[in-house]
Chain A
Amino acid sequence: MDHNKNNGSARTAGKKEFFLVRWVRRLFFPNKELDIYAEEQMQSPLRVVARNFFSKPIAVTALIVFILIALFVFIAPNFVTLDLGEQDSTLVFVSPGYSMLKVPAELEKNGVADIAVGNNFSVGADKEGNIYVWGKHKLTKVIDLADIPEEVKNAKIVKVAAGADHVLALDDRGTVYAWGNKRLGQTILPDELESNNRMHTFGIKEIHASNQFSVVVTDDGRVFTWGNDNLADIDYDAETYDGHVVSAAVTNFTYVILLDDGSVSIGGFSPKFTVQKIPEAVKSGVKSIVGTSNTIAATMEDGSLVIWGAPTKGENNVPAFSSPIKEVAGGRYHLTALLEDGTVVSWGGNRYKQIEVPKDIGEVENLYVGSFQNYAVDTDGSIHTWGLKGFLLGTDGLGRDVFARLVNGGKMTMTIGALSVVIEMIIGIILGGIAGYFGGVVDMVVMRIAEVVSSMPFIPFAMILSAVMGTRVSVEQRMYIIMVILGILSWPGLCRLVRAQMFAQREMEYVVAAKALGVKEKKIIFSHIIPNVMSVCLVSITLAFGTSMLTESSLSYLGFGVPLPTPTWGNMLTGANNSIIIQNYWWNWVFVGAIFGLACICINLIGDGLRDALDPKANGR
């Protein structure tokens, strides 16, 4: 025994290495080349196979790529967490890239006059009246918010406002411009405002744009609203409030106004949304108001804040301030305040790190906040940004990060593939081993069972099993059910292979020797013969892993695998089964398709390489 071991590796003769290290080293780094006859005696078949395999560049490349993909999908989910309930209507189908906070250098150089943040894009005006658009400004194939009308380019813009899919701009003479998606009247100004654009009879004080509607406050205390009034409550009670409006704040679906007596009021006739239920505290003494998507924050004369509406992500958890508030600005789920001493405080929803104010920020002069983005201009005129930069691989139809789903889905798909192969191996090797070793009646029974199982149509049968068994169980249980189904339906192939090998091996001398020594049959099968058969089974197991992954993803694709919202590579592609998505939102299927395709190709190449390596003909004998 000892003699053999030392022959296998000369270097291990002196001291004994840890068995795993020894195996790996023997497999991958054979210390000397042996000629064919010496090799016949000294080198284990597995080592020959490994050497053959590693002499094939394609197979080795495939192995490396596959290992990288596997490492990636098993390590990355620890860093890229997935919130299964996560979805946001404003982040639907965002294209890949980190452009949302990329402020044009020229804007920073010329000095910021105003910045407004819309859904996934921002608009800025510099002190010379030029206008800039950055972020995801391409809404559809036709509508691009960066297509700024000529008249706007020529005008000296002083104020901008950005909504979900349209932009408002105000020039130094009081003209209001609007462009963007026209479908719901976002860009059609009221007649009086339109004529004022030419006559300039009154000045414009504030412009606001939100989810498909706009609100304008004039110098003489009036309000104009326009846009999609089916979705939002943009009624304005002109008789009551005309001449008294000082300021306005917009939320997702409505707006509120600040009157000249320091009270906050709804602009319309009757409240429909939670934010329109104005609390008593803001009936007087209000200095300014801002809105987030579902709340309104009012800064009082005494420097305190009153927040009402429907806070969902902690918009009302106001932290303690070090000095009085100078200005407050609202994003979608967060609020950012600029204090008298120039420090900036942010609170509310932090899904995209929009409340993590950078430490190196200087003394801030102006603050521009919206959606998930923050821009702070300090006294030097340089712009500091924080919040959502964008998505590496874009988002899907529910506003979910494709990258996060890709890595977590990959983990799921690979886990299911691997575990179902393990189940397949356990059943296949045990039954194949028993059938092959004992033969006769046992063999007949096992083979008949195998034939029944293999004659069942695979995918339809897996579908009905998953439909019947998976309806009343949790996602996790369903995942295990899928693994078991895949394992149970795919063992016959491996079983036949093991059985055939068993027939050949059981007549060999070492088995006879083991029998003569009185070794138990169970031990002969599973510790003596099976290890010798394993190298042949390796190809079958490798390819089975690929097949399991494919079957799982096909099942998930058809809706009978792992159910949504838990991602797998298969059910991520279900969403892409739609010509509109295939055409316009390529990032929803290209990335997942590419990585999945690559993984499958790699597995098959590894399997092919192993098969060639195992083929004695290929060794020139």
Chain B
Amino acid sequence: MKKYLLKRIVYLIIVFFVVSLMMYMIYNLIPSDPALVQMEPLRKSLKPEEWTRQYHELRAKLGLNDPLIVRYARWMGFAKDVNGSFNGLLQGNFGYSISYKRNVIDLLGVPMQNSIILNLISTIITLAITIPLGIYCAVHARKAMDSGIQVFTVIGYSLPTFLIGILFIYIFAVLLGWFPTGGAKTPGSTYTGVMEFLDRMHYLALPTLVLVFTGLAGMTRTVRAAMMDTLSQDYIRTARAKGLKEKVVIYSHAWRNALLPVSTSIMGWMIGVFTGGSLVIENTFSLNGTGRLYISALNNTDYELVLAMQMFYTLVSLIGVLLTDLSYTLVDPRVRIDK
């Protein structure tokens, strides 16, 4: 197990650096020149030859003439920066956001908190509903209730998230008026304590609902399929044959085994939600989360911020893949990994 874990972590690190190198190369496709930005105001006050000389000096000083791989190493923190010290991603320098005029690291706190809260709540609710629902559907397969739920799940996982978002805004915010259409808190409110919490939850309710609905659809199908597969196994037939009650068969023999494949898809689904789904949701509901920050950074061509966030997304998805594999081996002793 330890050997496997070590191997996976080494592999993860390698993939991370490969992806980051690719990202850095893509980032460098953008024709941007920090030296020119700095020198542009001086263009009128200096003679052209003098300006060109200073410009090239500055380029050299900033290290812009060095090969791509050297610049990548500096950015990552492998090589010494032009000022002689290590100052890269690995040292905690995530870059400087030109659109917010602040260090990237200071920008990430609040949006990340919001995104994590949103995803955590919706994940917990989804799982709390989806597992019993999936089991129920599998046990009562092809009956009216199951068919009805199947229709909903097909709709839920076929429709794009933003369409469900618009639909839910129309139903729950416009027609019924239960929730606000967007935002993170009542504008101009100065609530504290419990009221602040309730206000925040009120605003988070609708996005959560959308995420739960989309998550519910896919997960219920997974749970149902896994459960139906388990119910057709021989040991279930054996359990029934020896006269166990149906309840015992389902809740003692079947469902724990059915959840094994489900537990792995949960991780995959969470990564998808965190990197893709919440991006769309935060945009639809104007929530101040990581997805919205990412979009605004892309729109403002604030590429240091984009790059830092891209690294964050990559890390999230890599760790997610690792955890998926690990959870698979942890919950299912049949899967052997000490090869």
Contacts and interface: CB of A to CB of B under 8 A. Distances in A.
A455 B323 CA distance: 13
Query: Which of A553, A586, A593 has the most chain B CB atoms inside 10 A of its CB?
Result: A593
Contact of A593 (B163, B174, B284): B163
Contacts of B306: 464, 467
Given A452-B19, A583-B174, A459 B276 contact: yes
Contact of A600 (B159, B294, B321): B159
A596 B161 CA distance: 12
A469 B15 CA distance: 23
B266 interface: no
Contacts of B132: none
B275 A460 contact: yes
B299 interface: yes
B299 A579 contact: no
B295 interface: yes
Contacts of A582: 166, 169-170, 174, 181
Nearest to A584: B174
A593 B167 CA distance: 9
B262 interface: no
Nearest to A467: B298
Interface stretch (A89-97, A140-148, A325-333, A556-564): A556-564
Interface stretch (A124-132, A261-269, A357-365, A601-609): A601-609
A281 B61 CA distance: 71
A558 B280 contact: yes
A451 B15 contact: yes
Interface stretch (B82-90, B197-205, B237-245, B310-318): B310-318
A64 B328 CA distance: 40
B138 to A, nearest CB: 15
A460 B160 contact: no
A460 B313 CA distance: 8
A577 interface: yes
A518 to B, nearest CB: 37
Nearest to A465: B26
Given A560-B298, A604-B154, A459 B275 contact: yes
A554 interface: yes
Contact of A577 (B27, B166, B321): B166
Contacts of A559: 295, 299
B283 interface: yes
B18 interface: yes
A597 B154 CA distance: 11
Contacts of B18: 452
B275 A458 contact: yes
B317 A459 contact: no
B276 A600 contact: no
B173 interface: yes
B158 A457 contact: no
A546 interface: yes
A20 interface: no
A325 B29 CA distance: 65
A546 B154 CA distance: 13
Contacts of B272: 458
Interface string A436-473: 00000000000000011001111111011101110000
Interface residues of A, number: 41
- Per DSSP, chain A at the interface is helix
A597 B158 contact: yes
A456 B169 contact: no
B220 to A, nearest CB: 14
Interface string A550-581: 10011001111000000000100100110100
Given A558-B283, A573-B162, A579-B182, A456 B314 contact: yes
Nearest to A466: B298
Nearest to A583: B174
A459 B279 contact: yes
A56 to B, nearest CB: 13
Given A452-B18, A465-B26, A579-B181, A457 B276 contact: yes
A463 B293 CA distance: 13
A583 B174 CA distance: 6
Contacts of A134: none
A589 interface: yes
A572 B193 CA distance: 41
Given A559-B299, A560-B298, A576 B158 contact: no
Contacts of A603: 158
A559 to B, nearest CB: 7
Contacts of A560: 298
Query: Which of A577, A597, A601 has the most chain B CB atoms inside 10 A of its CB?
Result: A577
- Per DSSP, chain B at the interface is helix
Contacts of B275: 457-460
Nearest to B170: A582
Contacts of B159: 597, 600-601
B165 to A, nearest CB: 8
B144 interface: no
A562 to B, nearest CB: 15
Given A465-B26, A559-B295, A583 B158 contact: no
Given A464-B298, A558-B279, A579-B181, A550 B170 contact: no
Nearest to B280: A554
B287 to A, nearest CB: 13
A231 B300 CA distance: 34
B155 interface: yes
Contacts of A558: 279-280, 283, 295
Contact of B294 (A452, A460, A469, A583): A460
A455 B166 contact: no
B269 to A, nearest CB: 13
A459 to B, nearest CB: 4
A570 B161 CA distance: 11
Contact of A589 (B19, B26, B166, B313): B166
Interface string B263-275: 0000000011001
Contacts of B161: 554
Contacts of B176: none
Contacts of A608: 154
A460 B19 CA distance: 13
B117 to A, nearest CB: 20
Interface in A491-547: 546
B30 interface: yes
A577 B283 contact: yes
A456 B154 contact: no
Contact of B155 (A456, A573, A576, A601): A601
Contacts of A605: 154
B157 A604 contact: yes
A595 B298 CA distance: 30
Nearest to B167: A593
A46 to B, nearest CB: 24
Contacts of A596: 160, 163
A181 B56 CA distance: 64
B309 interface: yes
B19 A456 contact: yes
Interface in B1-52: 15, 18-19, 23, 26-27, 29-30
Nearest to B277: A459
Query: Which of A467, A559, A570 has the most chain B CB atoms inside 10 A of its CB?
Result: A467
Query: Which of B173, B182, B298 has the most chain A CB atoms inside 10 A of its CB?
Result: B298
A297 B161 CA distance: 54
Given A467-B298, A550-B160, 13 more contacts: A455-B15, A455-B317, A457-B276, A460-B309, A460-B310, A461-B313, A554-B276, A557-B160, A558-B280, A577-B166, A582-B169, A582-B170, A593-B166
17 contacts: A452-B19, A457-B310, A460-B275, A464-B306, A554-B280, A557-B280, A557-B283, A558-B280, A558-B283, A583-B174, A593-B163, A593-B166, A593-B167, A596-B163, A600-B159, A601-B155, A605-B154
Interface of A: 451-452, 455-461, 463-465, 467-469, 546, 550, 553-554, 557-560, 570, 573, 576-577, 579, 582-583, 586, 589, 593, 596-597, 600-601, 603-605, 608
Sorted nearest first, the 6 A-B pairs with minimum C-beta distance are A457-B275, A579-B181, A459-B276, A457-B313, A601-B158, A600-B158
